Amino acid sequence: MKSIKSVLLAFIMIMGLIGINTSETNAGPRVRIYVGTPKIHKPGPNYVWVEGHYKINKYGKLVWVPGHWKRV
């Protein structure tokens, strides 16, 4: 009886670890993507809105750069 409980407990622990790992790996990136100009006022007359985009960093990985106001 004691061995059955220990085997059952080990099985539940392994399934819990597998479930945690798969849920983390399947979760996509959580980013907000605005389409078009946001509904806030321009900081000044010489500013334009730059859309969010992906950029390659110095390690060769894609990094999300959020939209921002740029002075021209």
Q: What is the pTM of this model?
A: 0.42
Q: Where are the beta strands (DSSP E) in 13-71?
A: 47-50, 53-56, 62-65, 68-71
The tokens for 46 are 């010489």
- The pLDDT of 52-71, averaged and rounded, is 93
pLDDT digits (tens, 9 = 90+) for 10-46: 777 777 667 655 555 555 566 666 566 666 788 989 9
Do residues 42 and 70 touch, judged by C-beta distance below 8 A? no
- So what's the pLDDT on residue 26? 56
